[in-house]
Chains A and B, each alone.
Chain A
Amino acid sequence: MTQELKEHHDANAGQKDLLVVNNLKKHFRLDRKTVLKAVDGISFSIKEGETLGLVGESGCGKSTVGRTLTRIYEPTDGELEFDGLKIKGRLDRKTKKRINRDVQMIFQDPYSSLNPRMTVSEIISEGLVIHNPDMSPKEREKRVHELLQLVGLNKNHAGRYPHEFSGGQRQRIGIARALAVEPKFIVADEPIAALDVSIQAQIVNLLKELQEDRGLTYLFIAHDLSMVKYISDRIAVMYLGKIVELAGSDELYEKPLHPYTQALLSAIPLPDPEKERTREQIVLTGDVPSPTDIPSGCRFRTRCPFAMDSCAVIDPEFREVEPGHSVACHLYDAEIMEKEGKELKTV
């Protein structure tokens, strides 16, 4: 993150950053020659009680970001600061335990993320056994019942197995499990993608209520942009392992700056026939390049309708172009545009 941007956030109404991510990288070595750069240097921060939406197409690295933050993956490089705690490199046991408790995850697939051989009560209380070892079994049972109630299930469900529930109900169980250890930060990795339309709104409303009641902070990962806009305060758009644009969610939808964001927004089919008939679509050509072979310069240039010579050479810097709105694109860089002899895009 640029210094400016950090100051802007620090100045923001006394709310402190719960999580600051600086130049986070996660590379996977596939074989001796190939390295898959799933996340390739991203920086952002999330304030306490805020929801940051993370959107992008499949393979852009958004899930890897979530998994690295929850320490399912060890980051290749970069610094994290969580709740005032600086984290770099390997963690000692005490820090690891704290992170494992304070950072929880809700997974996309409610079918494969619950152990089919455990009862709902066992699934939810598993974290409690580890993090609250002093709790008596009776207290634990009471806590499980409270949690079930909280997510809209009831205590009769505690003894049942995951297969006895519908997709929406399973996702509620996953949410109860995440809440059991009273985390501060929840990574929700496409929590509604596998659910039916009529059920999606139920889960989104539940997540919002829980946030208001408990002051939770979310990283909401999704590819469904309309739901993301609804739930997020700010949205980061990822493309091939980098954040290309970050802005407040209304701002991003009203005034998308990066050509990729513009295309992405115009590609969402709107559930409104009148708008579908009248609006203009920017249809991108081609597919996303492979993350093992990232284009030189700007990684979006192979599909960008505005690509210039400089784009192939210089990787655009991710910088703030107006308060709270950052973008990584040469079109908004006076220096580059002058060199290209083209008119600077005004914000």
Chain B
Amino acid sequence: MDKNILEVNNLHVSFKTRNGEVPAVRGVNFSLKKGETLAIVGESGSGKSVTAKSIMQLLPKQNTIIPEGEVLYEGKDLLKFSKKEIQNVRGSDISMVFQDPMTSLNPTMKIGKQITEGLSRHMKLTKKQARERAKEMLELVGIPNAEARLDAYPHQFSGGMRQRVVIAIALACNPKVLIADEPTTALDVTIQAQILRLMRGLQEKTDTAIILITHDLGVVANMADRVAVMYAGEVVEQGTLDEIFYRPQHPYTLGLLRSMPNLDAPRTEPLIPIPGSPPDPASLGTGCPFAARCPYTMKVCHDHNPGYTAVSGTQAVRCWLQDERTPEDHIPEVIRKGRQTSEIAADQAAIDAAGGVPV
């Protein structure tokens, strides 16, 4: 359990556009252990899908620049892999489930063929063996009458069933890492519950590590062991599930949690939205990207982007409020309280703050 199966270190991704280079991912770090689920949450444009796609080299080569960073899978840097090498990883070691089950299947190909494609390539199975395995996979994801359904086309399946097929394809070669990019966003809640339950069940059986990308904090609470919160291309906070939900240390995480209505709370209280909207990635300054929307900004926030501060052995946050030079009376009550209840003392040495900036 202890060794990291996947490690993303200081990943930067930019896109070439007519108006120059636009940074989409700016120094992302996270790691993933066997059998664990890491949720990456963030709003549209925060860079969560770009991060996931760059792991698999799925971004268009002609306008993507990865100036820095490494993606270590079992110690090897995937970003340095040739086209052929990465093709051997895709679908066998690491596979991906996309958001839209309507477009991620080939409409002109039978379901069985789409599942066996990867099997014959990666596992060198014969046609017959592959078909047998495809049938098993369909049964595993709960599609009734699997044998006959192998010869059906995608349009003959409902949305929820199609997402099951996509999951069957992704898991067919026993991947060690499954990247699920908003796997249930396009589905209804009752179907979403089915798919989430299915993913959890399969994970227990196969010990696959999952990176779950979503914007739904409910799904996160249901699925994740650890959470990374992204904003403007950075992971602004990461920690265990309980740390993020009960002891959030970044004002953005706090804002996200507060802007959701609580089913138990009285309806008379207004919601507390985060004012403004996310920044344009093309015109980010040198300061903290959240400064313009943050209720607790200080002078330093507008000029300098904070580094990581470890709050506990598992929780780290990018915020000047965590800097020891920040006056105690400026730190809001909620954040201070969360910090006090944090069981493990901050390990400042583990992740160093950018530092050297007078407040």
Distance A208 CA – B267 CA, assembled complex (angstroms) = 11
Q: Which residues of B contact A58 (CB under 8 A)?
A: 188
Bound-state CA distance A168–B219 (Å) is: 23
Q: Considering only CB atoms and an 8 Å cut-off, how many residues of chain A contact the other chain?
A: 43
Q: Which of B215, B271, B278 has the most CB of A within 10 A?
A: B271
* Chain B 249-279 interface mask (CB, 8 Å, partner A; 1/0): 0000001110111110001001111110110
What chain B residues lie within 8 Å of A21 (beta carbons)?
Answer: none
**Distance (whole angstroms) from the CB of A256 to the closest CB of chain B:** 12
Which of A68-76, A107-115, A118-126, A262-270 sits within the interface?
A262-270
Contact A57 B189 (CB under 8 A): yes
> Shortest distance in angstroms between B261's beta carbon and chain A's nearest beta carbon?
4
Q: Which B residues between 172 and 200 are near A, CB-CB below 8 angstroms?
A: 188-194, 196-197
* Interface set, chain A 221-272, CB cutoff 8 A to B: 223, 225-227, 229-231, 249-250, 253, 263-264, 266-272
Enumerate chain B residues within 8 angstroms of A270, measured Cβ to Cβ: 218, 221-222, 263
Nearest residue, chain B, Cβ from A229: B263
Closest to B214 in A: A269
Using Cβ atoms and an 8 Å threshold, which residues of chain B touch A284? Answer: 190, 193-194
**Which residue from A169, A202, A271, A287 sits with its C-beta under 8 Å from B221?**
A271
Contact B190 A267 (CB under 8 A): yes
Interface residues on B, range: 35 or more
Say whether B271 contacts A201, CB under 8 Å: yes
Tell me whether A198 and B255 are in contact (CB under 8 A). Answer: yes
CB-defined contacts of A57 to chain B, threshold 8 Å: 188-191
Which B residues lie within 8 Å of A273 (CB)?
A: 221, 241-242, 245-246
Instruction: Chain A residues near B215: list those with CB within 8 A.
Output: 196-197
Interface contact A269-B222, CB-CB below 8 Å = yes
Q: B221 contacts A272, CB within 8 Å?
A: yes
Q: Is A313 an interface residue (CB 8 A)?
A: no
**A200 CA to B277 CA in the complex, in Å?**
11
Cβ-defined contact, A269 with B221, below 8 A: yes
Smallest distance from the beta carbon of B258 to chain A beta carbons, Å? Answer: 8
Q: Would you give the shortest CB distance from B320 to chain A, in whole angstroms? A: 20
Q: Is the beta-carbon distance between A230 and B261 smaller than 8 angstroms?
A: yes
Cα-based distance from A47 to B222 in the complex (angstroms): 37
Q: 1/0 per residue A279-300: CB within 8 Å of B? A: 0010111011000000000000
Asked whether A95 is an interface residue with its Cβ less than 8 Å from the other chain, the reply is no
B160: Cβ under 8 A from any A Cβ: yes
- Which residue on B lies nearest to A198, using beta carbons? B274
Complex-state Cα separation, A197 to B260, whole angstroms: 8
Say how far A188's CB is from chain B's closest CB, in angstroms.
16
B217 interfacial contact with A, CB 8 Å = yes
| Min CB–CB distance A234 → chain B (angstroms) | 12
B273 and A223: CB pair below 8 A?
A: no
Q: Are A204 and B194 in contact (CB under 8 A)?
A: no
A15 is an interface residue with CB less than 8 A from chain B:
no
Whole-angstrom distance between the Cβ of A203 and the nearest chain B Cβ: 8
Q: Is the CB of B256 within 8 A of A281?
A: no
Residue of A whose beta carbon sits closest to that of B258: A201
A268 pairs with B271, CB closer than 8 A: no
The one of A166, A230, A267, A275 in contact with B271, judged by C-beta atoms closer than 8 angstroms, is: A230
Report if B43 contacts A (CB, 8 A): yes
* B220 interface residue per 8 A CB criterion: yes
Expressed in whole angstroms, the Cα–Cα distance for A227 and B190 within the complex equals 17
How many residue-residue contacts, CB under 8 A, span A and B? 120
User: Taking the nearest CB of chain A, how far is it from the CB of B83, in angstroms?
Assistant: 35
- In the complex, which of the residues A201, A204, A253 has the most CB atoms of chain B within 10 Å of its own CB atom? A201
A287 touches B43 (CB 8 A): no
Instruction: State how many angstroms separate the Cβ of A127 from the closest Cβ of chain B.
Output: 27
Contact partner of A199 (CB less than 8 A), chosen from B189, B222, B257, B273, is B273
Chain A contacts for B190, CB-based, 8 A:
57, 263-264, 267, 283-284
Question: B274 contacts which chain A residues (CB < 8 A)?
Answer: 198, 201-202
Asked whether B270 lies within 8 Å of A198 as measured between CB atoms, the reply is no
Known: A196-B43, A230-B271, A253-B263. A271 touches B158 (CB 8 A): no
Which chain A residues lie closer than 8 Å to B272 at the CB level? 201
Closest to A267 in B: B193
**Interface pair B197/A202, CB less than 8 Å apart:** no
Q: Which residue of B lies closest to A200 (CB)?
A: B259
A197 touches B259 (CB 8 A): yes
- Contact present for B259 and A201 (CB under 8 Å): yes
Query: Beta-carbon contacts of A143-186 to B below 8 Å, as 1s and 0s?
Result: 00000000000000000000000101100000000000000000
In this assembly, does A276 line the interface, its C-beta being within 8 Å of a C-beta of chain B? yes
Q: Which residue of B lies closest to A290 (CB)?
A: B158
Q: A169 and B277 in contact (CB under 8 A), knowing A273-B241, A287-B158?
A: yes
Question: CB distance B242 to A226 under 8 Å?
Answer: no
A267 contacts which of B189, B216, B217, B261 (Cβ < 8 Å)? Answer: B189
Minimum CB distance partner of B184 in chain A? A269
B341 contacts partner chain A, Cβ-Cβ < 8 Å: no
State how many angstroms separate the Cβ of A163 from the closest Cβ of chain B.
14
Q: How far is the CB of B130 from chain A (nearest CB, A)?
A: 28
- Nearest-neighbor residue (CB-CB) of A266 within chain B: B193
- B340 beta carbon closer than 8 Å to chain A: no
CB distance from B158 to the nearest CB of A (A): 5
Q: Does A205 contact B (CB under 8 A)?
A: yes
10 example contacts (A-B, Cβ-Cβ < 8 A) are as follows A57-B190, A168-B277, A196-B43, A196-B215, A197-B256, A198-B273, A267-B193, A281-B197, A284-B190, A287-B191
What is the interface of chain A, defined by CB distance below 8 A to chain B?
A: 57-58, 166, 168-169, 196-202, 204-205, 208, 223, 225-227, 229-231, 249-250, 253, 263-264, 266-273, 275-276, 281, 283-285, 287-288
Told that A197-B43, A201-B260 touch, could you supply 13 new A-B pairs with CB distance under 8 A?
A57-B189, A197-B217, A199-B273, A205-B271, A231-B267, A264-B189, A266-B193, A267-B193, A269-B219, A270-B222, A271-B217, A273-B246, A283-B197
